[in-house]
């Protein structure tokens, strides 16, 4: 499996932007977050700004390993923000439709408040998981491993 940066690379073939869908990032099809990252990388590459302010997408069809076409369109351009749309297509079928506002660094973004971490079972206390049915045959499970011991406890005070 390629590293995530390489696996989400979008390249121009001289006519269209294209991405190669890595089969190691599948269960029954490509992970949705992986396809979303491809769309975001394509929009970021064409934007004049560096700070994504919003992102939304719809998953339309299940893809397969191989090349896909990435179409990026500017919906609105301003002095400090741009709204872009990306469509990922494979064999002419849309896999994902995404939209993002990308803004200038000087604009403020969302402010976050720290909160108390909720109680959670430690990873070592969980049973192994290797999927079920057809999902169990996916190569993704070879890349997911139980953390090594010891795992430090997470304090219950506010975390950044």
Architecture category of domain 4-103 in CATH:
Beta Barrel (2.40)
Burial class for 36, CB neighbours closer than 10 Å (0-12, 13-18, 19+): buried
Question: What backbone phi and psi angles, to 5 degrees, belong to 113?
Answer: -105, 140
Domain ranges (residues) in the chain: 4-103
108-134 residue pLDDT tens: 766 767 788 888 887 777 777 666 777
pTM of the model: 0.69
Q: Are 9 and 19 in contact (CB under 8 A)?
A: yes
For residue 129, the SS3 value is coil
83-101 residue pLDDT tens: 999 999 999 999 999 999 9
Contacts of 36 (CB under 8 A, 6+ apart): 55, 57, 96, 98
């Amino acid at each position: 499996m390629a590293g995530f940066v390489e696996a989400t690379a979008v390249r121009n073939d001289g006519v269209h932007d294209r991405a190669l869908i890595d089969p190691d990032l599948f269960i029954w099809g490509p992970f949705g977050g992986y396809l979303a990252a491809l769309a975001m990388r394509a929009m970021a590459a064409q934007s004049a700004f560096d700070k994504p302010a919003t992102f939304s997408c719809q998953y339309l069809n299940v893809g397969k390993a191989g090349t896909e076409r990435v179409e990026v369109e500017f919906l609105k351009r301003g002095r400090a923000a741009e709204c872009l749309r990306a469509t990922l297509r494979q064999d002419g079928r849309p896999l994902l439709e995404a939209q993002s506002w990308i803004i200038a660094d000087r604009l403020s973004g969302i402010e976050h408040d720290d909160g108390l971490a909720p109680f959670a079972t430690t990873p070592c206390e969980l049973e192994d998981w290797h999927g079920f049915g057809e999902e169990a045959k996916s190569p993704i499970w070879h890349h997911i491993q139980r953390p090594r011991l010891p795992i430090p406890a997470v304090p219950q005070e506010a975390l950044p």
